A and B are shown apart, each in its own frame.
Chain A
Amino acid sequence: MKILVCISNVPDTTTKIKFTDNNTKFDSTGVQWVINPWDELALTRALELKDDASTGVKSVTVGHVGTASADPTIRKALAIGADDAIRVNIEPTDAYQVAAQLAEVVKAEQFDIILCGIESSDFNGSTVGSMVAEFLDYPSVSAVSGLNIEDGEPVITREIDGGKEIVNVPAPFVAVVQKGVALEPRIASMRGIMQARTKAIKVMEPVDVDVLTEVVTFEPPQPKPECVFVEEDNPEKLIELLQNEAKVI
């Protein structure tokens, strides 16, 4: 069984978000790039499954659509334990375009399980994973917070309103994962970092795909008005403000 983990390369979560070129481009000066947090959990779970011989998982590959500038992030994934990586060499600008490229990667290499994160922390699309499934006509399960393989069959936990369902779909399939799928992201060991240097990042040239969306401009959030402070021994005042000014209770 082969797993592909699709990773998105995103600014570290503590990055101060700024734009340049008249608010049309993200300002990446001084930004530290990391594996998207959910993709890190997906990778961790894939490696846990591979560690358990009973699952039959033989390899974990990471897939990325992006330019060579993402290679350090891909190396990080290799250092954490992925066996190899495939990068499709095109600047990602649109979910449809990214998903179409990832689908080509799957067609070329035939994976049994494709893992994507629920959203990228930069574009907040929540779209690429399920799009990949549709391009391939594979079943997909979303909001996945648990993934196991028992007797060769996937056992998938998905979150539904107010609870969970345990579901099964036939492989090959796409699972769009969120928190819970692994508890803590696995970190690279010294040995992993050394080994990563010799692991392969295969570069694929992109196929020709239409881009369906375009960011016209970015907008920093509206500055919030100053906080109104209420004396600690006067909670009645707070309630009055919530009732009469904010009108929320």
Chain B
Amino acid sequence: MSVLIFTENWDGKFKKLSFELVSYGAKVAEMLGTSAVAVSIGNVADDELTKLGKYGAKKIIKLEDELFNIFDNKSYSAAIAEIAQKEEAQVIIIANNNMGKAIAPRISVKLKAAIGSCVSKLPLSTEPFVVYKKVYSGNAFAHVELKTDVKIITLAQNSFDLIESSNEATIEQASVDVNESMVQTKIKDVDKQTGKLLLTDAEIVVAGGRGMKSPDNWTPIFELAELLGGATACSRPVSDEGWRPHEEHTGQTGKIIAPNLYIAIGISGATQHLAGVSSSKCIVAINNDKDAPIFEAAQYGIVGDAAKVLPKLVDAVKEVKSK
């Protein structure tokens, strides 16, 4: 028996998300009285793999075949399903991100394993096995019973704190029964920005809405994000107007993020916007309308004109950072 955790890598490195998954998986394993096994697909150096052990993985299975250099939904899900069977996994844990959403449902059908998606807490009970998940785009949560012997959980990003331990993991090389003919995805072109902090990875996000009035007023938002080591975002009308690129738009139809700190400036706080950011640990709102709905979601607020408040806020952050 085991709890199997699929840990995606990014050019051979893991991210905080990978460690969240392992920390979570180790806890679930503890609840079930079994041990956590991590699976890594692609080329990752052993000293990087070892890091997964620090968060509670007892064993790390690596699969390095170059067949997996192309991310193909079928081959990845077949490989993970096969390893899950070999390891007699009772629970399979996968990130609720682009890659996770592409493969977890396929594994679910392959193994006839019930799936709890976008889960944000430890299982509420193991018998019956009940998970806690977001529904209605964040306007409610559901307790969902997974009724099969094998279960799959996709874990929402930033919903579980890292737990370090003194555990050391063993590393094992695996091979699976997946061949070339299964990989049907052909990559024609890649357009990747490198070196930039991704909105979905950022712990701090500074976002501007229509209340910023013009794209020319964005400088203090960039400054604030830079000073805080965060990323910038915007509301949908801002990206629709072309003030900011579409990748930055958060909300129900844009990116769904859960940073530690979300600073919303000149954003009214429409339900569709909040659907993308309401899982943030702390929301700060700056808005000149004291009745703006964003203040209902915010922990801290400043009522005032963004054009006046922002420069002062930037100065104050500079002051603190220079100390």
Q: Which residues of A contact B (CB under 8 A)?
A: 11, 13-14, 17, 19, 37-38, 95-96, 99, 118, 121-131, 133-135, 139-143, 155, 158-170, 176, 179-180, 210-221, 224-225, 227-233, 235-236, 238-239, 241-243, 246, 248-249
Is B316 close to A, CB under 8 A?
Answer: yes
Tell me, in angstroms, the Cα distance from A158 to B33 when the chains sit together: 39
Q: Which of B105, B141, B185, B302 contacts A238 (CB under 8 A)? A: B302
Contact with A along B194-209 (1 / 0, CB 8 A): 1010101101100000
Query: What is the CB-to-nearest-CB distance from A191 to chain B, in angstroms, rounded to a whole number?
Result: 28
Tell me, in angstroms, the Cα distance from A241 to B72 when the chains sit together: 46
A218 close to B135 (CB less than 8 A) = yes
A214-B147, A236-B316, A238-B302 given as contacts; is B108 within 8 A of A121 (CB)? no
Identify the closest chain B residue to A18 (Cβ). Answer: B140
Cβ–Cβ < 8 Å partners of B34 in chain A? none
B190 close to A131 (CB less than 8 A) = no
Q: A13-B271, A17-B140, A249-B261 are in contact. List 17 more A-B contacts (CB 8 A).
A: A121-B252, A123-B135, A124-B134, A130-B105, A134-B106, A134-B109, A142-B73, A167-B185, A167-B186, A212-B112, A213-B145, A218-B143, A228-B299, A236-B316, A238-B316, A239-B320, A246-B299
Contact with A along B224-244 (1 / 0, CB 8 A): 000010000000000000000
- Which residues of B (52-80) have their CB < 8 Å from a CB of A? 71-74, 77
A124-B117, A169-B184 given as contacts; is B136 within 8 A of A246 (CB)? no
Tell me, in angstroms, the Cα distance from A125 to B144 when the chains sit together: 12
Is B162 close to A, CB under 8 A?
Answer: no
B303 close to A142 (CB less than 8 A) = no
Which label, helix, strand, loop or mixed, suits the secondary structure of the A interface?
Answer: mixed
Tell me, in angstroms, the Cα distance from A129 to B116 when the chains sit together: 15
Tell me, in angstroms, the Cα distance from A128 to B143 when the chains sit together: 19
B194 close to A134 (CB less than 8 A) = no
Is B130 close to A, CB under 8 A?
Answer: yes
Cβ–Cβ < 8 Å partners of B145 in chain A? 213-216
Tell me, in angstroms, the Cα distance from A230 to B298 when the chains sit together: 12
B102 close to A248 (CB less than 8 A) = no
Cβ–Cβ < 8 Å partners of B137 in chain A? 13, 121, 124
B300 close to A163 (CB less than 8 A) = no
Cβ–Cβ < 8 Å partners of A131 in chain B? 105-106, 108-109
Is B133 close to A, CB under 8 A?
Answer: yes
Cβ–Cβ < 8 Å partners of A225 in chain B? 299
Tell me, in angstroms, the Cα distance from A212 to B152 when the chains sit together: 11
Q: Which residues of B contact A (CB under 8 A)?
A: 10, 71-74, 77, 96-98, 101-106, 108-110, 112-118, 130, 133-148, 154, 184-194, 196, 198, 200-201, 203-204, 228, 246, 252-254, 260-261, 271-272, 275, 278, 281-282, 284-285, 295-305, 308-309, 312-313, 315-317, 319-320
A224 close to B297 (CB less than 8 A) = yes
Question: What 4 pairs between A and B have smallest CB-CB spacing?
Answer: A232-B304, A163-B192, A142-B102, A212-B114
Query: What is the CB-to-nearest-CB distance from B188 to chain A, in angstroms, rounded to a whole number?
Result: 4
A139 close to B108 (CB less than 8 A) = no
Tell me, in angstroms, the Cα distance from A212 to B143 when the chains sit together: 14
Query: What is the CB-to-nearest-CB distance from B239 to chain A, in angstroms, rounded to a whole number?
Result: 10
Query: What is the CB-to-nearest-CB distance from B317 to chain A, in angstroms, rounded to a whole number?
Result: 6
Query: What is the CB-to-nearest-CB distance from B99 to chain A, in angstroms, rounded to a whole number?
Result: 8
A139 close to B105 (CB less than 8 A) = no
Tell me, in angstroms, the Cα distance from A32 to B141 when the chains sit together: 21
Listed A/B pairs (19) with beta-carbon separation below 8 Å: A13-B272, A17-B136, A95-B108, A124-B117, A124-B136, A130-B102, A130-B103, A131-B109, A140-B102, A164-B190, A165-B188, A166-B190, A212-B113, A212-B115, A220-B140, A221-B140, A221-B141, A230-B302, A242-B284
Query: What is the CB-to-nearest-CB distance from B152 to chain A, in angstroms, rounded to a whole number?
Result: 9
Cβ–Cβ < 8 Å partners of B304 in chain A? 232
Cβ–Cβ < 8 Å partners of A135 in chain B? 109
A229-B302, A246-B261, A246-B299 given as contacts; is B272 within 8 A of A218 (CB)? no
A118-B101, A139-B74, A227-B285 given as contacts; is B115 within 8 A of A127 (CB)? yes
B246 close to A219 (CB less than 8 A) = no
A128-B105, A249-B228 given as contacts; is B316 within 8 A of A162 (CB)? no
Identify the closest chain A residue to B152 (Cβ). Answer: A127
Cβ–Cβ < 8 Å partners of A239 in chain B? 313, 316-317, 320
A179 close to B285 (CB less than 8 A) = no
Query: What is the CB-to-nearest-CB distance from A48 to chain B, in angstroms, rounded to a whole number?
Result: 18
A143-B101, A161-B10, A167-B187 given as contacts; is B143 within 8 A of A246 (CB)? no
